Amino acid sequence: MPCGTKGAVKTLTPDELRAIGCEIILGNTFHLMLRPSGEVIERMGGLPKWTSWKGPMLTDSGGFQVFSLERLRKIDNEGVTFQSPIDGSTHFLTPEKSIEIQGQLGADIIMAFDECAPGDADHNHAKRAMKRTHEWLLRSIKAKKRTDQALFPIVQGGIYKDLREESAHFIAEVDAPGYAIGGVAVGEPKPYMMEVLDIVSPILPSNKPRYLMGIGEPVDILEAVQRGIDMFDCVMPTRLARHGNFWTKTGRRDITKSILAESTEPLDKGCGCYTCKNFTCSYLRHLMIEKEILGHRLLTIHNLFFLLELMRNIRKNVETQTLKEFSKDFITRFNENSK
């Protein structure tokens, strides 16, 4: 799910997203509540209509962004008081307010308000955040008024097995249309991410979608799918593109490297995206060196297509029961050749 953080997937139009096979995008509650506000977007007919996105949309709760403002916020059981990074104004975000704003935005899938502890949180900190997440989930469920929005709860608990088990069991008791796993890729060593999935996945209902929040590396996606994860989002494809980085079947590359100055090859041989079918590495490198916006756009198209095509291939291999072999081959080539 590409991230349309502030109401747009950076540099691309909705038609371009549909052309590469995108089916659902994200909106960011925190940023949109600050500017232009949930009220404005509601008056404009809701986020999908306002942005001309004719497809499903998911909004996060705003929790992760609030908790990343460590120096600008104060947390208590009622909610979070924080200062806007835009103008310094003070705001108070609660589970009820988060659900209200997501109702105004009008996404199809909305997230319960949670507390995301940092990856290096000690057991007491992680437990306190988990308990708060559970309490806020119940308040989020009670606050939800719209029947046309699917509310996903979020498993928390840091890197601690006992907490993740407790949280997963608590979350699984809620009859939700899907379940999310948060608090990964927030500073913990990468092996812990897969350990968390090994703990949580067997507990969550197997007949409902599972959403691993904030993950976008190809290898991480493959490892997570093999542990029962269905849905992913991340800003990485667009962020890497803006910094001249792109994915290939043999690893990540940097388009600004001088070795590509006269390369007549596409970014990734055999790739079916618009960028690879029409432009050489030499030209794309020139665009990025000159800071032309077209370079950002073309690399973004490729990176998003690459991940969406990976997901299409994953689905095919799930259907043919060959995912393990496909994943092993992909990961070996990707890791051995990354530069």
Residue for token pair 């968390």: 196
Q: How many CA atoms lie within 13 A of 319 on its CB side?
A: 6
Q: What is the CATH code for 3-233?
A: 3.20.20.105
Q: Which residues contact 150 (CB under 8 A, 6 or more apart)?
A: 108, 109, 110, 176, 177, 178
Burial class (CB in 10 A: 0-12, 13-18, 19+), 45: exposed
pLDDT of the residue at 337: 66
Q: Is 165 helix (H, G, I), strand (E, B) or coil?
A: helix
Residues labelled catalytic: 60, 233
- The Cα–Cα gap between 18 and 53 comes to 9
Residue for token pair 């490892």: 223
pLDDT of the residue at 70: 82
- Percent of the chain at pLDDT above 90? 94
- The Cα–Cα gap between 29 and 62 comes to 5
Q: Which of 254, 231, 232, 258 is nearest to 244 (CA)?
A: 254
**Which part of the chain has CATH 3.20.20.105?**
3-233
Q: Which of 318, 99, 154, 110 is nearest to 222 (CA)?
A: 318
Task: Tell how strand 90-93 and strand 80-83 pair up.
Answer: antiparallel
pLDDT of the residue at 97: 98
Structure tokens at 227: 């542990």
pLDDT of the residue at 187: 85
- The Cα–Cα gap between 97 and 116 comes to 17
Helices and strands in the chain, H and E counts = 15, 14
How confident is the model over 256-305, as pLDDT tens digits? Answer: 999 999 999 999 999 999 999 999 999 999 999 999 999 999 999 999 99
What does pLDDT average to over the chain? 96
pLDDT of the residue at 185: 87
Specify the long-range contacts of residues 202-205, CB closer than 8 Å, at least 24 apart. 202/228, 203/165, 203/168, 203/169, 203/172, 204/155, 204/168, 204/171, 204/172, 204/179, 204/228, 205/172, 205/179
Sign of CA dihedral 214, 219, 223, 225: positive
Residue for token pair 């691993």: 212
- The Cα–Cα gap between 46 and 35 comes to 14
pLDDT of the residue at 332: 96
How confident is the model over 31-73, as pLDDT tens digits? Answer: 999 999 999 999 999 999 999 999 999 999 998 887 788 888 9
- The answer on pLDDT for 145 being more than 60 is yes
- The Cα–Cα gap between 68 and 30 comes to 11
pLDDT of the residue at 30: 95
Structural contact between residues 187 and 161, judged by C-beta atoms closer than 8 angstroms: no
Q: Which of 164, 184, 171, 91 is nearest to 137 (CA)?
A: 171
How confident is the model over 160-211, as pLDDT tens digits? Answer: 999 999 999 999 999 999 999 999 989 888 899 999 999 999 999 999 999 9
Q: Which residues contact 54 (CB under 8 A, 6 or more apart)?
A: 14, 18, 48
Q: Which residues contact 4 (CB under 8 A, 6 or more apart)?
A: 25, 26, 27, 28, 51, 53, 57
Q: What is the mean pLDDT of residues 111-116?
A: 96
pLDDT of the residue at 189: 87
Q: Which of 11, 4, 1 is nearest to 41 (CA)?
A: 4
Structural contact between residues 172 and 179, judged by C-beta atoms closer than 8 angstroms: yes
Sign of CA dihedral 142, 147, 148, 150: positive
- 338 falls in which pLDDT band (50, 70, 90)? low
Give this prediction's pTM: 0.96
pLDDT of the residue at 64: 87
Q: Tell me how crowded residue 112 is: count the other CB atoms within 10 A of its CB.
A: 29
pLDDT of the residue at 69: 85
pLDDT of the residue at 159: 95
The H or E element spanning position 4 is strand 3-4
- The answer on pLDDT for 231 being more than 60 is yes
